[in-house]
Amino acid sequence: MPFTADERKKISEMLREKGVPEKCPLCGQGEFRLPDSIAFIHVFEPGKAMETLGGQVEFGWLPAGSMPCLILICNNCGNTLLLNLKVAGLWDELRLEEVRLRC
């Protein structure tokens, strides 16, 4: 799902508006590049213990959805940043909910 030129422009504008530095704050030399993919961080919530006829059953961490994230990678040191697409407003603006197939 590569980003279109228009989408990349919108993303760059958003990063600039929100004050995200163009230079990597870790190495101070590299610049961030945007790969043609996004990341999903799977999140979990604490499970519960339940009494059953056979005894107590404990459930550990239970899946609680995922957070779609924009990936930024420093072209010098590899520092990788993940920006929550929903918080940044790009999930809706770029209509990323819709699965798209592109050549």
Do residues 67 and 16 make contact, with C-beta atoms less than 8 angstroms apart? Answer: no
With binding defined as CB under 5 A, does residue 26 bind Zn ion?
Answer: yes
DSSP character at residue 86: H
Q: Residue 35 Cβ, how far from Zn ion at the closest point, in Å?
A: 15
Which one, of 102, 98, 92, lies nearest residue 14 by Cα? 92
* 3-state secondary structure at position 8: helix
Query: Which of 14, 67, 76, 84 touches Zn ion (CB under 5 A)?
Result: 76
Query: Which of 24, 38, 70, 72 touches Zn ion (CB under 5 A)?
Result: 24
Strand 55-58 versus strand 49-52 pairing type: antiparallel
Strand partners, 84: 69
- Residue closer to Zn ion, measured from CB, 70 or 94: 70
Cβ neighbour number for residue 85 with a 10 Å cutoff? 21
With binding defined as CB under 5 A, does residue 30 bind Zn ion?
Answer: yes
* Count of residues engaged in binding Zn ion, rule: CB under 5 A: 8
Q: Residue 81 Cβ, how far from Zn ion at the closest point, in Å?
A: 10
**Residue ranges that bind Zn ion, judged by CB under 5 A:** 24, 26-27, 30, 74, 76-77, 79
